[in-house]
Structure formats: C-alpha cells, structure tokens
Structure 1
Amino acid sequence: MTAIFYFLSIILGFLGSLMLPTALIAISAGHSDLAEEFLLTAGLTGFLSGGVFFALRGQEKELVNAQTYLLCILVWIGLPFVAAFPFVISGQLSGINALFEAVSGLTTTGASMFRTLEEVPTAIIFWRSILQWFGGFLTLLTFLLILAPNGVGGLPNRHIGMMERAFGEESGRTFYVARQVGGAYAILTLILAWLLILSGIPPFEAMCLAFSTLSTGGFMPIDGTLASYDNRWAEFLIALGMIAGATSIFWHRMAVRGKLQMLTEHRESYYLFGLMAGLGLLYSVTLFRLAGSASVLPPLSALRQGFFTAVSLVSTAGFEIRHADVTVLPGLLVACLALIGATPFSTAGGLKLYRIGAMLMQAGREVGRLIYPHSIRGGRFGKTEYTIQLMKSIWASFLLSILLVIVVAVVLSHDIGHFDGALFAAISAFSNIGPLYSAGWNATNAWPDYYQLSLISKYALIITMIFGRFEIIVLLGAININFWRR
C-alpha cells in the first residue's frame, strides 16, 4: 500500500498545482476572493500530498499485482472530489452537481451542469478546461502504465517498449514515461493555443480551447458553438487538434522519429483517418441535401461542416460548428460510432477501433472456417497476432461495456422518460462524449438537460463516465482476492 499512497500523493499534488494558474486568472479578472479560495485549496492539497510524499519517499515504491488496479481506481474516484471543491467554494455549483462537473472534466466527457456561462467567473471556466487537459494526461498514463501492460481488455502492448527503451532502471519507469508523455502533451497544447491566438481567437479562450481539444473533452469557454467565432482557420486548427488527440501517441512518436516502416504497420491510425474521411463525406452530402440549394449552404461550407462533425464524433470531442449537425444522420449509426471511439493510447473515449477490428477479423475467420473447415489461417492486425487468449479479453471487455450501457440506460429511462434519450445519455457518458446527448436529437426538447436529472441519474452517469476511463475489468480485478494473493 505504500507505493499506492506515494504515487497518489504525487498525482494529488499535481492537481493542486493546477489551482495556482487558475488563481492568477481570478486575480487578473478582479476576483480576489475567488483567487484566495483557489490558493487556500491549493495550499491544503499541497500540504496533504507533500506530507504523504516526504513521509514515504524512502520506502519501497514498486507496484505489484492488483496494486496498480487499486491505484487506478483511487485516482479516478478520489481526484474528482478534490477537483469539485473549487466549484463548491465559489458558489457556482453545489453537492452532486459540482462532483458531476469535476468528473466530466477529468474524464474529458464535456457534459456540463452549467445552464449558461455568461455569469460564470473566468477562473471557473479556466478550471473546467484545465481539468479536461489534466484528465487527458491521466488517460494516457492509465493506458501506458496500467491497462496495456496488464493486458486489460486485450489492449495492445507491443509498442510500450518505445517509451522505456532509453531507461534501464525499472523503479524509474513510471516517472520516465510520465515525463515523456507529459512533455509532448504540454508542447502540443502550447503550439495549438499559440496558433489559435494567431488565427484571431482571444488568448484566454484560445488556451481553454487548446486544453479541451487535445484532451478531446469538448468544454467550450463561451456559450454556443464554434460558429460564434466565425473563424475558419480556428475550426481547421481545432479539427487537427482533435485528430491528434484521437490518434495513438505511439503513432506520433514514430512519425517524429521518422520510423516509416513502423508507421505503415500501425494500421489503427489509418483506419481512423479512413473512417473520418468516409463519415465526413457522408455528413457533407447529407447536410448539402438537407439545405436544398447552394445558396443556403454552399458546397465548400457543407464539406467544412461535414468533415468537422465527423472528426468531432469519432474523436469523442463533441465540438460543433453548428448546433445539431451531428443529428442529420440516423441516431443508431451515430450512437454506434460514438460507442466505438478512436484508437488506443489516445485521449479519446469509446471501446476503441482496435477491439472492433479484432472482433471483425475473428468473425471473418469463423466464416472462412465454415467454408473451408480444414484450412489453417492466422489473424493479424499490423504486427499484432490475435490469439485465443487475446480474443477472450477483448470479448469480455466488450460484453461488460455493453451490459453497463444497457443497465445505465434502463436506470435513466425512468427519469428521462424516453429510452432512446436514456440510451444516448448512457453512451455519451461511457464514451466520454457528453455533448452528444445535448446535440438536439429531440425537437420538442423532451429530453431534460443534465442539471435537470434526478440524483440517482447523476450518480449513474458519474459512475459510467469513470468506468469509461479505467475499464470495468480493473474494478473486478481490484476486488478479486485471488488476484491479490498471486
């Protein structure tokens, strides 16, 4: 347990340090009382995390067996309570609403309890955005250090050595990976923010958009959609940022290092690009057809809106150029695409293309076995060979995820009053694409907003958002006594 509390104190301290720039934002906006509250919370968090860190600094810090699972659970369940505190002390949200907002931020879901941002202090808006950015970083670390090394849900681990090859000491692996990922993640965010400022977006809003884009979160710093800026370059940059957030960090690393052979073998990213392109074309044609004429929606505008909507949906970011663009396609198709998500080792949510590709490949093999019973054929996805054990893990993860979505949808259906609305809310929470539920599917506004849901529904969505990030199998492993004994 010593290692668990040690690493937990570091993560808690990092979260507390994010309150310092938020306090500076409050001071610059003239909200001195709010700045004092952020500084006080940061001080208390730093005192607690620092005390634990220095007390355990000389102790054994190797995580074994289910300890990594327990650390993952404590991080994703415990941090939101600390992150929710600023919402409470500022008086903007209270109780369960503040916890919902914090969980939505850290899990990069983007579902909000705020009715409008017009009266919300800039520091709180910044805090929401930086929570999403930090949540995206935690998501990457969760994949790299816990889920993939343990083979959770059949996630691939063939490229993890790229993050560790330059560092031989096993005890420092966690810090080395965190520095590598965190450095690249921060640099990309700063570059995107700088480019957005050059495109004409105000600096504060550009930084908030950069936080939400790279994390594929979807929180907007203003009311409305991106159309409020009327900035084509900003829309293009945000689309590129969402693509970067939805693709694997290993693909980025191989591209930077010029490893062309490995780039061609990493097929998930190319399937992702193909899916975005095909879906974007479908959205563009549908939007143009619904507009009726080129005078209402010019072809280039239809292409711009269509491809942006496709990228936003597949990356599970949830940004919109025009409200309800995502709803022009059949709801079942959109729900399935949102449930699939993007690639592993990205900040995007969903089941991941890797798993869907594995299940489709296995289905093809089984059909081929029916036609040619005595044939021997392997199954590969790039360099990855799909074994029976791997497929068992993938199918188990898929089944548990679908069961979770169905159970949550049933729970929500009584409150929402429509099963289709409950299903969209459950999928939006699990795939961490909260704005999807609020995209305007129901013209009569019969679906309640997030802040109008009952207490039970809010708790159900909070649990679903968290499970969407650390996998249900992790919880089952952490509470399995036999797993601890081994």
Structure 2
Amino acid sequence: MTAILYFLSILLGALGALMLPTALVAISAGDMALAEGFLLTSGLTGFLSGGVYFALRGQNKELANAQTFLLCVVTWFGLPLAAAFPFMLSGELSGIDSLFEATSGLTTTGSTMFRTLAEVPTAIVFWRAILQWFGGFLTLLSFILILSPSGVGGLPDRQAGLMERNLGDDTGRIFFVVRQIGAAYCFFTLSLAWLLIISGLGAFDAICLAFSTLSTGGFMPIDGTIAAYDNRLAEFFIAIGMIIGATSILWHRMAVRGKVQLLVEHRESYALLGLVLALGLLYSIVLFQLAGSASVLPPSSALRQGFFTAISLISTTGVELRHADVTVLPGILVVCIALIGATPFSTAGGLKLYRIGAMTVQATREIGRLIYPHSIRGGRFGRTSYTMQLMKAIWASFLLSMIFIAIVAGIVTYDIGHFDGGLIAAVSNFSNIGPLYSSGWTQTNEWPAYADMGLAVKYALIVTMILGRIEIIVVLGALNVNFWRR
C-alpha cells in the first residue's frame, strides 16, 4: 500500500495544482469568493498530498500486477471526489451532481448536470475544461503504464522502448515516461489553442476547446454547438484536434522519430482514418438528401457537416457542428460506432478498433478453417501475433462490457421509462461520449436530462463512466481475494 499511496499523492497534488490557474480565472472574472474556494481547496489538497509524498519518499515502491490495478482503481474512483469540491463550493450543484460532473470531466465523457452555462461562473467552465484535459492525460498514462503492459482485455503491448512493464521496478523510468507523454500532450494542446486563437476565437474559448478536443471530451465553453462561433477555420482545426486525440500517441511518436516501417504496420490508425472517410461520406450524402436541394444545403456544407459529425462520433468527443446531425443515421449504427470508439493509446473511449479488428481476424480464420480444414494460416493483425490466449482476453473483455452495459441500460430504463434512452445513456457513458444521449433523437424531449435522473441512476452512470475508462477486468483484478490473502 505504500507505493499506491505514494503515486496517488503525486496525482492528487497535480490535481490540486490545476486549481491554481482556475483561481486566477475566477479572480480575472471578479469572483473573489469562488477564487478563495479554489485556493483553499488547492491548499488543502497540496498539504495532504505533500505530506504523504514526503513521508513515503524513501520507502519501497514495488508494485505487483494486482497492486497496479488497485492503484488504477483508487485513482479513477478517488480523484473525482477531490475534483468535485469546487463544484460544490460554487453553489451551482449538489453533492451527487458535483461528483457526477467531476467524474464526467476526468473520464472525458462530457455528460453534464448543467442545463445552461449562461449563469455558470467562468471559473467553473474553465475547471470543467481543464478536468477533461487532465483526464485525457491520465487515460494515456493508464494505458501505457498499467493496462497495456499487463495485457488487460487483450490490449497490445507496444512499449516501443518507452514504457516500463512493472510500475514499481524503476521510478525514474516511470517519471521519464510521464515527461515524454506529458511534453507531447502539452505541445499538441498549446498548438491547437494557438491555432484557434489565430482563427479568430477568443483566448478563453480557444483554450477550453483545445482542452476538450485533445482529450476527446464533450464539454463546451458555451451553450449550443460549434456552429455558434461561425468560424470555418476553427471548425477545421477542431476536427484535426479530434483526430489527433483519437489516434495512438505511439503512432504520433513514430512519426516524429521517422520510424516509417512501424508507422506502416500500425493498422488501427489507418483503419480509423478509413472509417472517418467512409462514415463522413455517408453522413454527407444523408444530410444532403434530407436537405432536399443544394439551395438549402450546398454540397460543400454537407461534406463539412458530415465529416465533422463522423470525426466527433468516432473519436467519442460528442461535440456537434449542428444539433442532431449525428442522429440522421439509424440509431443502432450510431450506437455501434460509439461503442467501438477509436484506437488504443488515445484519449478516446469505446472498446477500441484493435479489439474489433482482432475479433474480425479470428472470425475470418474460423470461416477459412471450415472451407479448408487442414490449411495452415498465419495469425497476425498489425504488429501483434495472434494467439488463443490473446483472443480469450479480448472476448472476455467484450463479454463483460456487454453484460455491464445491459445491466446499466436496465437501471436507466427503469428510471426514465424508455428503453432506447436507457440503452443510449448506458453506451454513451461507457464509451465516454456523454453528449450523444442528448443529441436530438426523436424522443429526446421525452427523455429526462442527466440532472433529472434518479439518485441510483446517477451513481450507476458515475461507475459506468469510470469502468469505461479503466476496463471492468481491472476492477476484478484489484479485488482478487487470493492475491491479497497471500
């Protein structure tokens, strides 16, 4: 437990540090009471995390697999508790609603308890955005340092000389990974924010949108959609940012280092781009047909809206160019794409294209085996070798996810009285694309907003958002009684 508390104190301290720039935003807006709340919470968080850090600094930091899982679980369930305090201090949300909002931000889900942002303090809007950004960074670290090295759910083990298999073997190497990933993440965020400012957006909105875009989160700094800015260049930069957030950070690193062969073999990123192209064209065609004529919706506008919608859906961001564009395709197709998500080692949610690709390869092999029973076939997808152990892990993760989604969908359906709404709410929050639930479906007016749902449903969706991030099997591993008994 010593190592778990040590690393948790560092993450808690980082969260407290993020409250300092938020306090500056409150001061600049003239909200001194809220600024004092942020400073007080930051001070208490820093005092607690600093005390634990220095008390355990010289202690042994070895972590076994189950302990790394427990660290992951404690981090994702514990940090939202601290992140919820500013929402409570602002007086805008109740306790459970504050926890829901904080969890939604850290998991980059984008489900919100706010009905409108018109009266919400600027500092709270900024806090939501920076929580998403920090949550995206935590997602990358979870994949690289814990989930992938442990092979959780059949995730690929692609460390490329950067990652450490055992979180506790060499703390210096771990911090090296954090610096490498953090530097790239900050570079992309600052670059996007600068491009949005150049395009004509205000500095505050540009920064908040950069935070939300790179983390593939769904929080907007304003009410409405991206079209409210009436800025085509900004729309283009946001779309590019969502693609960067949805593709593997290891793929980006290979591109920077000029490893052409590894870039070619990284199938998921190219599959994602191909899916964006196909779905973007499909959305564009349907939107143009629904418009009825080129005078109502010119082909160029249909293409712009179609591709933006496709990118937002596949990346599990959830921001919209025009309200309800995502719903013009059949609901089952939209739900399936949202459930699949994007690539591993990205900030996007969902089951990941890697797993769907692996299951497709296995299905193809089994069909081939029926036709040619004695044939010998290679088993690879991308750079990863096909093994039955790997496929068992992938199918186990898929089955657990489906069972969990069915349970949550039942809970939500019982509360709101609509199965479609219950299913979409469950999938939206599990795939961390919360705005999908309120995207203008035919019965949206009959579905209650997140703020109107019952207490049990809110707790269920909080757990759903977190398990969508850390994998259900991680929780089972952390709760392994036999390991802790030994």
Contact 2:323/2:439 (8 A) holds in 1? yes
In the other structure, the counterpart of 1:231 is 231
In the other structure, the counterpart of 1:358 is 358
In the other structure, the counterpart of 1:426 is 426
In the other structure, the counterpart of 1:370 is 370
Contact 1:309/1:325 (8 A) holds in 2? yes
CA distance in 2, matches of 1:70, 1:403: 22
Q: Moved runs in structure 1, 4+ residues, more than 4 A?
A: none
In the other structure, the counterpart of 1:321 is 321
Residue 145 of structure 1 pairs with residue 181 of structure 2: no
Q: Equivalent residues in 2 for 1:262-411 (5 A)?
A: 262-411=262-411
- Which AA in structure 1 matches 2:89? I
Contact 2:144/2:159 (8 A) holds in 1? no
TM-superposed deviation, 1:439: 0.2
Deviations 1:303-324 (A, max 9, x none): 0000000000000000100000
Deviations 1:132-156 (A, max 9, x none): 0000000000000110011100000
Contact 1:62/1:171 (8 A) holds in 2? no
Deviations 1:230-289 (A, max 9, x none): 000000000000000000011000011111111001011000000000000000000000
- Which AA in structure 1 matches 2:293? S
Task: Identify which range, 417-426 or 376-385, moves more after superposition.
Answer: 376-385
Residue 441 of structure 1 pairs with residue 437 of structure 2: no
Residue 96 of structure 1 pairs with residue 92 of structure 2: no
TM-superposed deviation, 1:187: 1.1
Contact 2:247/2:269 (8 A) holds in 1? yes
TM-superposed deviation, 1:290: 0.2
Contact 1:152/1:474 (8 A) holds in 2? yes
- Which AA in structure 2 matches 1:252? H
TM-superposed deviation, 1:173: 2.1
CA distance in 2, matches of 1:221, 1:65: 39
In the other structure, the counterpart of 1:470 is 470
Contact 1:323/1:439 (8 A) holds in 2? yes
TM-superposed deviation, 1:62: 2.1
Contact 1:151/1:157 (8 A) holds in 2? yes
Deviations 1:89-126 (A, max 9, x none): 11011111000000000000000000100000100000
CA distance in 2, matches of 1:242, 1:484: 41
CA distance in 1, matches of 2:158, 2:485: 28
TM-superposed deviation, 1:61: 1.3
In the other structure, the counterpart of 2:221 is 221
Q: Equivalent residues in 2 for 1:159-174 (5 A)?
A: 159-163=159-163, 170-174=170-174
CA distance in 1, matches of 2:25, 2:315: 29
- Which AA in structure 2 matches 1:350? G
Q: Equivalent residues in 2 for 1:24-35 (5 A)?
A: 24-35=24-35
CA distance in 1, matches of 2:444, 2:251: 44
**SS class of match (2:446):** coil
**SS class of match (1:161):** coil
Residue 194 of structure 1 pairs with residue 194 of structure 2: yes
TM-superposed deviation, 1:443: 4.5
- Which AA in structure 1 matches 2:321? I
Contact 2:145/2:163 (8 A) holds in 1? no
Deviations 1:57-81 (A, max 9, x none): 1111121231100000000000001
Contact 1:163/1:180 (8 A) holds in 2? no
Contact 1:144/1:160 (8 A) holds in 2? no
In the other structure, the counterpart of 2:456 is 456
**SS class of match (1:66):** helix
CA distance in 2, matches of 1:171, 1:82: 25
CA distance in 2, matches of 1:379, 1:291: 46
Q: Which runs of 5+ in 2 are unaligned?
A: none
In the other structure, the counterpart of 2:23 is 23
CA distance in 2, matches of 1:65, 1:118: 46
Percent identity (aligned)? 74
CA distance in 2, matches of 1:189, 1:427: 28
TM-superposed deviation, 1:183: 1.0
Contact 2:149/2:164 (8 A) holds in 1? no
TM-superposed deviation, 1:161: 2.4
- Which AA in structure 2 matches 1:81? L
Q: Equivalent residues in 2 for 1:102-117 (5 A)?
A: 102-117=102-117
**SS class of match (2:84):** helix
In the other structure, the counterpart of 2:83 is 83
CA distance in 2, matches of 1:160, 1:314: 26
- Which AA in structure 1 matches 2:351? L
CA RMSD of aligned residues (A): 1.2
In the other structure, the counterpart of 1:156 is 156
Contact 2:65/2:150 (8 A) holds in 1? no
Contact 1:65/1:484 (8 A) holds in 2? no
Deviations 1:149-175 (A, max 9, x none): 11100000133424469xxx8332221
Contact 1:65/1:483 (8 A) holds in 2? no
CA distance in 2, matches of 1:97, 1:43: 24
Contact 1:341/1:352 (8 A) holds in 2? yes
The verdict on how the C-alpha distance between 1:77 and 1:160 changes in structure 2, with shifts beyond 3 A counting, is: farther
- Which AA in structure 1 matches 2:348? A
- Which AA in structure 1 matches 2:69? Y
TM-superposed deviation, 1:484: 4.1
CA distance in 1, matches of 2:426, 2:245: 23
CA distance in 2, matches of 1:228, 1:13: 36
Deviations 1:420-469 (A, max 9, x none): 11000000010000000010112561111110100011111001000000
TM-superposed deviation, 1:412: 0.7
- Which AA in structure 1 matches 2:189? T
CA distance in 2, matches of 1:171, 1:459: 35
CA distance in 1, matches of 2:233, 2:443: 31
CA distance in 2, matches of 1:442, 1:173: 52
Q: Number of matched residues? A: 483
In the other structure, the counterpart of 2:479 is 479
Q: Equivalent residues in 2 for 1:53-68 (5 A)?
A: 53-68=53-68
Contact 1:154/1:393 (8 A) holds in 2? yes
- Which AA in structure 2 matches 1:422? G
